[in-house]
Amino acid sequence: MAGLRTTRRVRWTRWLALSPLLLLGACATAPAATEGTRGFFWGLIDGGVAPIAFVISIFSDSVAMYGVPNSGGWYDFGFLIGLSCIWGGGGTAASRRRKRK
C-alpha cells in the first residue's frame, strides 16, 4: 500500500510541476488567418516536405516546417495527410503483419 501512495505522490508532484508550463502554452497566439493564405493543398505539400524542412530549419532561421499564417483546420488536415503519406501511414505496418502469417 505504501508503494501506491508514493506513486500517487510522484504523479501529483509531476502534475504540479508541469501545470505552469501548460498554462503558459495556452496563452500562445498565432497570426490571424487571412483570405488567400495557405489552405488544404498547401498543407498537403508542406506535410510532404516536412522531414526535409525540419532538417533545414535546424540550420536556417528563414525556413519553417509549418506555414504560418494558414487557414486553420483545413491546412492542419492537409499537413497531417501529407506527413502520413511520406511515412507510409498505417499501410506499411499492415503489410508487414500480413507477410509474417
Consecutive sets of 10 residues in the chain, 101 residues long: mean pLDDT of each?
A: 65 82 72 68 88 87 80 86 77 59 55
pLDDT of residue 88: 67
| pLDDT at position 51 | 86
pTM of the model: 0.54
pLDDT at site 100: 56
Calculated CA dihedral for residues 6, 12, 13, 15, nearest 10 degrees: 150
Q: What is the DSSP string of 7-66?
A: HHHHHHHHHHHHHHHHHHHHT---PPP-TTSB-HHHHHHHHHTHHHHHHHHHH-SS--SS
